[in-house]
Structure 1
Amino acid sequence: MRKIVLFTFLISLFSCKEQKVNQDIKPIQAKLPTKSFTNVQLREIHSDAISIRAIVLDSNQLWFAGSNGKYGAIDLMTQKMFRGRIAKDTLHPEFRSIAKTKDAVFVLSVANPALLYRISNDKKVVQLVYEEKNEKVFYDSMQFLDDSFGVAMGDPISDCLNIITTTDGGNTWQKIPCEKLPKAGEGEAAFAASNTNVMLRNNKIIIVSGGKKARCFVSEDKGNTWNVYETPIVQGKTMTGIFTADFYDENIGFIAGGDYEKQEDNSNNKAITNDGGKTWQLVGQNTGFGYASCVQFVPNTKGKALVCLGGTGLHYSSDSGKTWKKMLDDKDLYTLRFQNDSVAYAAGKNKIVKLSFQ
């Protein structure tokens, strides 16, 4: 959504620094299948004048895309950095979505014109594979299910969410016609906060919305038919609703968001499902984080452990979101992905960091 602040900066020097935070946080008294985190170490691995809301991990490589046409990759073993920049005529796109197949990385811009680029694994070929011109176009999120099927979604252009798919590994993209999609409500859209509005599990597509409505759209046949389910997340204003979601598997999912204009408000901003998005239950009322930018399940925890970034810092839960512990005050991290069950990478305003949970 356009109202999230964009950043335009000058290039700054690469830096790498480490700090240990919250060493004295007591363990959360909840039973985990594996272990409960008590602190986190943060190490900055990249610094630049860039706003990053889209990262993807590929083995020992982290790809990122952000503001001012910038994208790049970091070798997580050697710290070797690759930087690129895309221009279309005089435009340097704002990238908020990124996705990976075995052959290439795809980056998708917000706003008009929407530009979707394919970047070869060797980083030598950058190809525009989809372009959409419309004064209302604004893409929020993109994911691949496998090396063939991918989905990107955006705000409504007419009376439905704007959804495109690929079945050939991202070489070509097709728009799902509005007559095959559920009607969007008045003022219903999405937020390009962390590339977490779309999730693909088996043949299921799960999409979440925000604004004056906060709903969950589910297709169990790769977009041919859809069901829409209500959620209890705060809604009714332009900057309210679901900003982020994650599904541990096909059934267990978590949504978070809130009111972007009331970032400390931690009521009606988090909910969980155990039936694939059909029904949702509020959890963690009046506790934990306020406005949420990105939520992710911790791997290998049977859907019990979660980490959330947002306007009140980084929070951790070991009991399916019922209780939360703040582990970082940093409000400038927007998106996060786990490499394994104790290491994650996060990005945001001018930086990418490694997070080691203990």
Structure 2
Amino acid sequence: MRAVLVLVAVLSVLLGGVASAAELPSWRLVSTGTAAQFRGLSAVSGRVAWVSGTRGTVLRTVDGGRSWGSVGPPAAGELEFRDIEAFDDQRAVVLSIGPGADSRVYRTEDGGRSWRQTFSNPDAAAFYDCLAFFDPWRGLAMSDPVNGRFRVQATVDGGRSWRQVPDDAFPAAEPGEAGFAASGQCVATSGPFDAWLATGGGKHARVLHSGDGGRHWAASDTPLPSSASSGVFAVAFRTPWQGVAIGGDYANPTAAGPAVALSRDRGRTWRTPTEYPRGYRSGLAWRGRTVLAVGPGGSDLSRDGGRHWQSFDSGSFDTVDCAGGGACWASGAKGRVAKLVP
């Protein structure tokens, strides 16, 4: 009888492990018909998503990825659209990166049939990396520091116009500190007033937090390594209190880390969990209470807010985004776009 019980217990463990592995999601690749690198991604729903990337490319799907329309601004082939924020299947705001006037913002209200340029960077020393919105009206676009302070543009009309947040709203930047335009996630928002900027390149990998819609900012150190090629690449908050920062070293993508830091106090303090993805990760998103992370070395998930992680895919992606209903998309180099299943 004891032998039978032992056998039953062993089988339960084995079958439980198989069931657990079977419950892991997977990425289903969809064909985009292009070799552009898509670091910009906005998931509207399971049917609607927008991606943006190299050679001025912007694509949109309204049928779950079965077909994609090329809907980018005209005469933009020299631009790199590193971030895009879409509000539905018709309205989107896209950001191009680069020094001076290469940093631009365009807005469409008709699904990409026409675009209006709403911002052109007037400062040769500025370099815009990413943008994020609190709601369809209020948003922020982040630049690397200018004269020792981070620079942020704010909009209150859905990206139709922008104004610069005063320099004295920011703490002094560390020497070499900047944002990474790797996944469109170096700025994040949660709720109506909280926003975060992710940095690296300086002495510390830091996260800057604003609790008043971007008018004032304070910086906190994270335990992630920082160098010219390492720091915090993405930050995401499930609520204004609970957040995850992720990164690593893109020049040494297999470095052990740590690659993850967690906060439960709106980004004031950060700690490293006992488990974290091994290697560089550039993209991060919440799917309910689950955290998804992607990078050139694969994809990982955490079902407990970032404390423990499981790898579920070895393919390369640069960024990930999830819609409110739980539909998640990922995108990356060589035109790679995928949907999460189940």
CA contact (8 A) 1:295 1:306 kept: yes
Work out whether 1:118 is the aligned partner of 2:104.
no
Q: How far 1:28 moved relative to its partner? A: 5.4
> Structure 2 vs 1, CA of residues 267 and 341 (structure 1 numbering), >3 Å: closer, same or farther?
farther
For 1:281, the equivalent position in structure 2 comes to: 271
Task: Determine the C-alpha separation between the residues in 1 that align with 2:224 and 2:30.
Answer: 33
| 1:29-88 deviation per Cα after TM superposition (whole angstroms, max 9, x unaligned) | 9xxxxxx94242523242312010111122431111111111121113483422034355
Q: In the alignment, residue 323 of structure 1 is paired with which amino acid?
A: H
| 1:298-324 deviation per Cα after TM superposition (whole angstroms, max 9, x unaligned) | 22x2xxx22111132111222333332
> Structure 2 vs 1, CA of residues 128 and 313 (structure 1 numbering), >3 Å: closer, same or farther?
same
CA contact (8 A) 1:246 1:297 kept: yes
For 2:9, the equivalent position in structure 1 comes to: none
Q: How far 1:190 moved relative to its partner? A: 0.8
Work out whether 1:271 is the aligned partner of 2:256.
no
Work out whether 1:167 is the aligned partner of 2:156.
yes
CA contact (8 A) 1:215 1:228 kept: yes
CA contact (8 A) 2:287 2:328 kept: no
Picking from 314, 317, 320, the partner of 2:299 is 314
Q: In the alignment, residue 277 of structure 1 is paired with which amino acid?
A: G
Work out whether 1:71 is the aligned partner of 2:61.
no
Work out whether 1:250 is the aligned partner of 2:240.
yes
Picking from 192, 206, 212, the partner of 1:215 is 206
Picking from 32, 35, 42, the partner of 1:49 is 35
Work out whether 1:346 is the aligned partner of 2:330.
yes
Structure number with the higher helix fraction is 2
TM-score (norm 2): 0.86
Q: In the alignment, residue 318 of structure 1 is paired with which amino acid?
A: R
Q: In the alignment, residue 280 of structure 1 is paired with which amino acid?
A: W
Structure 1 unaligned runs (5+)?
Answer: 1-23, 30-35
Q: In the alignment, residue 302 of structure 2 is paired with which amino acid?
A: S
Task: Determine the C-alpha separation between the residues in 2 that align with 1:341 and 1:75.
Answer: 16
Matches within 5 A, 1:57-96: 57-59=43-45, 60-77=47-64, 79-86=66-73, 92-96=78-82
CA contact (8 A) 2:171 2:219 kept: yes
> Structure 2 vs 1, CA of residues 267 and 77 (structure 1 numbering), >3 Å: closer, same or farther?
closer
Task: Determine the C-alpha separation between the residues in 1 that align with 2:163 and 2:229.
Answer: 29
For 2:125, the equivalent position in structure 1 comes to: 136
Q: In the alignment, residue 66 of structure 2 is paired with which amino acid?
A: Q
For 1:19, the equivalent position in structure 2 comes to: none
| 1:160-205 deviation per Cα after TM superposition (whole angstroms, max 9, x unaligned) | 1120001122111011121222211111101011111111222112
CA contact (8 A) 1:100 1:144 kept: no
Picking from 219, 228, 238, the partner of 1:228 is 219
CA contact (8 A) 2:52 2:59 kept: yes
Q: How far 1:255 moved relative to its partner? A: 0.4
Task: Determine the C-alpha separation between the residues in 2 that align with 1:139 and 1:251.
Answer: 27
SS of alignment partner, residue 185 of structure 2: coil
Task: Determine the C-alpha separation between the residues in 2 that align with 1:25 and 1:162.
Answer: 49
Work out whether 1:262 is the aligned partner of 2:252.
yes
Which has the larger Rg? 2
Q: CA RMSD in A?
A: 2.4
Task: Determine the C-alpha separation between the residues in 1 that align with 2:20 and 2:266.
Answer: 27
SS of alignment partner, residue 334 of structure 2: strand
Q: In the alignment, residue 136 of structure 2 is paired with which amino acid?
A: D
Task: Determine the C-alpha separation between the residues in 2 that align with 1:26 and 1:233.
Answer: 34
Work out whether 1:156 is the aligned partner of 2:140.
no
Task: Determine the C-alpha separation between the residues in 2 that align with 1:338 and 1:251.
Answer: 19
Q: In the alignment, residue 307 of structure 2 is paired with which amino acid?
A: K
Q: How far 1:294 moved relative to its partner? A: 0.5
| 1:270-323 deviation per Cα after TM superposition (whole angstroms, max 9, x unaligned) | 1111111011110145x5331011011222x2xxx2211113211122233333
CA contact (8 A) 2:91 2:110 kept: yes
Work out whether 1:206 is the aligned partner of 2:196.
yes
> Structure 2 vs 1, CA of residues 78 and 163 (structure 1 numbering), >3 Å: closer, same or farther?
closer
In percent, how many aligned pairs have the same letter?
24
SS of alignment partner, residue 49 of structure 1: coil
SS of alignment partner, residue 350 of structure 1: helix
TM-score (norm 1): 0.83
Structure number with the higher strand fraction is 1
For 2:176, the equivalent position in structure 1 comes to: 187
> Structure 2 vs 1, CA of residues 62 and 352 (structure 1 numbering), >3 Å: closer, same or farther?
farther
Query: Does 70-79 or 198-207 show the bigger shift?
Result: 70-79
| 1:227-266 deviation per Cα after TM superposition (whole angstroms, max 9, x unaligned) | 221111111x201110111111111100010122221123
Q: In the alignment, residue 171 of structure 1 is paired with which amino acid?
A: R
